[in-house]
Structure 1
Amino acid sequence: MVGSVWVALGLSLTCISALSLLSPAWFQTPTFSFGVLSYCSWPQGDSWNQSCGIFRSLDDIPDFAWKVSAALLLGGWLLVAFHAILLLSWVLAPRELCPRRGSGKMRGVQAAAATTTIVGLLAFPIGLASPFAKEACGASSVYRSGQCQLGWGYVTAIFNAVLASILPVIRWPRTTKVQGRTIRFSSDTEKIILMPEVSK
């Protein structure tokens, strides 16, 4: 049961991260918006009539800091996706086949995904100094959005990064002492491990 909850959380984070990464609504004006990999424009007051484009490769992305951010965010997303797929395989595989479920290495993968994503999110606003962003946002500069407003894509990506960084912390096994023995409760293995008390 606990494993299924973690799989659902992992898959949800993966899907929402992909949605925010593909979203063109990271910074927007009343007639234009752009994200890491895509951008859209529309006539004034007619946001339903959008024409959108995508950056097909890193060479198409208009600024070096933007390229670094895109590479980091894609890497973070791949790590989150890998972690979710591995969790799913552990839940579906027989317990005898995978005795060390939820080992510390997997928490490390999730922590690396969160760190990579956070660095990518911090690098992206440096690209606001690019000619592309200045044309869209007016007097924009590094960490200043000019006439652009923060969009839901960037906010969602920040929320996902916060969740991805919190999840490895709350998965640490709990420890308690009972009659001179240390008992480790691990939700991953669903076993109680008795450890003899070490004399000091």
Structure 2
Amino acid sequence: MEGIVWAALELALTCISALSLISPVWFQTPTFSFGVLTYCSWPQGNSWNQSCGTFRSLGDIPDFAWKVSAAILLIGWLLLAFNAIFLLSWALVPKGLCPRRNRGPMPGVQVVAATATVAGPLVFPISLASPFAKEACGASSVYHSGQCQLGWGYGTAILSAVLASLLPMTQLPSKTKAQGRTILFASNTEKTIVVPEMSK
């Protein structure tokens, strides 16, 4: 049951990350908005009549830092998706086939995915100095958005990064060694059980 919960959390995190990745509202003005992979424009006062475009490849993205951020975020999203699918299959495999099922198969993949989802939003604001961003946001520069405001897409990317960072921390082992003794932490009580170390 615990594995299914972890798989569901990982799938939800993958969906949040994908939503932020395809969002055209990382930075916005009253008539234009852009994200990592998409951008939209509309007439003044008529935001329902939007015209949107997509950067179809990394070569179409207008700035090097923007390309780096997009590549990092795509890698992070792919790792999250791969880990979610793998965790789901791991949770659904019969217990007899996999005796060591308590922590999941690949905690390292989650850590690398979390690192990528944190690094992507940190690198992206460097691209505010690009000609594309300057045309959209006026006097924008590195980590200064000029006339643009932060949109919900960037907020979603930050939320995804925080959740991706917290998820591996909750899977730490519940067994540790201190001063030559094994300490087991009981989850249903507040007592600590100290077991003397056995010589081998």
TM-score, with structure 1 as normaliser? 0.87
- Secondary structure, counterpart of 2:96 in structure 1: coil
1:23-102 equivalences under 5 Å are: 23-101=23-101
Judge conservation of contact 1:176–1:183 (CA < 8 Å) in 2.
yes
User: Identity of counterpart residues, as a percentage?
Assistant: 73
Cα displacement string for residues 53-89 of structure 1 (whole angstroms, at most 9, x for unaligned residues): 0000011000000000000000000111111011100
SS in structure 2 opposite 1:97? coil
How many pairs were matched up? 190
Separation of aligned partners in 1, 2:55 and 2:171? 37
* 1:111 counterpart = 2:111: yes
Which shifted more, 73-82 or 102-111? 102-111
CA contact (8 A) 1:173 1:184 kept: no
Shift of 1:95: 1.4
Q: CA deviation at 1:101?
A: 2.6
Letter matched to residue 9 of structure 2: L
Matches within 5 A, 1:133-152: 133-152=133-152
Give the AA of the match of 2:35: G
Matched-pair contact (CA < 8 Å) for 2:4–2:92 = no
8 Å CA contact 1:24–1:34 kept in 2: the answer is yes
Mapped contact 1:32–1:136 kept (Cα < 8 A): yes
Structure 2: 5+ residue runs without aligned partners?
A: 188-194
Q: Distance in 2 between matches of 1:81 and 1:122?
A: 21
CA-CA distance at 1:182 after TM superposition: 4.2
Say if 1:80 and 1:110, in contact at 8 Å, map to a contact too. Answer: yes
Preserved contact between residue 173 and residue 185 of structure 1 (Cα < 8 Å): no
Q: Any idea what the Cα deviations from partners look like across 1:100-128, whole Å, max 9, x if unmatched?
A: 33557622111110111211111100000
Secondary structure, counterpart of 1:142 in structure 2? coil
- In 1, the alpha carbon distance for the partners of 2:22 and 2:73 equals 11
Q: CA RMSD in A?
A: 2.3
Closer/same/farther in 2, CA of residues 85 and 141 from structure 1, 3 Å limit: same
